[in-house]
Amino acid sequence: ILNVEQSPQSLHVQEGDSTNFTCSFPSSNFYALHWYRWETAKSPEALFVMTLNGDEKKKGRISATLNTKEGYSYLYIKGSQPEDSATYLCARGSTLGRLYFGRGTQLTVWP
Amino acid sequence: AAGVIQSPRHLIKEKRETATLKCYPIPRHDTVYWYQQGPGQDPQFLISFYEKMQSDKGSIPDRFSAQQFSDYHSELNMSSLELGDSALYFCASSSWGTSTNNEQFFGPGTRLTVL
């Protein structure tokens, strides 16, 4: 079983605050790490797919880093906005394609 | 851009009934994945298909079966429904040959409630 852990489980921040959360995973036999943003009643939206140790990816105010040797990834949101409120899921990929998900971090940004 | 379509979005069934969930992948995607997310749980992989053949199988009960059709849409058939089958069922699609590290695109899910 390839357990993926995410922390914190939930996070409440004020508009304009920067925030970050963590995804940890077993470092052995690493293939890929996926981040998704999921708003209630909508489809999870793919943010990043990361494969290389030391990878850094950025999409607007959201960025992510990857450390495959120690088995963790950080997701950063700079200057949080209310529209960033969502659940952020990370998932470890595999060679056959299946994803192993964490339980997500639920972010609420207050105006 | 076209996204993954799932139908129905909501389904209510009684115990021991059957249910069929449908998934229509993004055009030109050849791979479909099914995931189940129970209340307070992380999404769990059920089964996947590549070019109409089963490519991987996870923790899918024997009461469930699935297939991918010639037009690449997929159906998840669930029989003898139990209360514990109540969950959000996600379908995702990808293009195995061309996707970047198997990036998967998800549908909005079907929420199944078994009474």
Query: Could you read off the pLDDT tens digit of each residue along chain A, which spans 111 residues?
Result: 458 999 999 999 999 999 999 999 998 888 899 999 999 889 999 999 999 999 999 999 999 999 999 999 999 999 999 999 999 999 999 888 899 999 999 999 999
Distances (CA, A) of A31 to A71, A93, A98, B4, B99: 11, 6, 11, 24, 14
Q: What percent of chain B has pLDDT over 90?
A: 86
Task: Tell me the C-alpha distance between A24 and A74, whole Å.
Answer: 9
pLDDT value, residue A35: 97
Q: What percent of chain B has pLDDT over 70?
A: 95
CB of A58 closer than 8 Å to CB of A65? no
Return mean pLDDT, chain B: 93
Contacts of B58 in chain A (CB under 8 A): 98
Whose tokens are 């909508």? That residue is A42
Contacts of B33 in chain A (CB under 8 A): 97-99
**How is residue B80 written in tokens?**
């003898």
How many Cα neighbours within 13 Å face the side chain of B107?
28
Interface probe, candidates A25, A99, A100, chain B, greatest B C-beta count within 10 A: A99
Nearest CB neighbour to A41, from listed B102, B103, B108:
B108
Q: Under an 8 A CB cutoff, do A44 and B45 touch?
A: no
Task: Tell me the C-alpha distance between B67 and B52, whole Å.
Answer: 7
Contacts of A46 in chain B (CB under 8 A): 103-106
Task: Tell me the C-alpha distance between B95 and B97, whole Å.
Answer: 6
pLDDT reading at B97 higher than 70: no
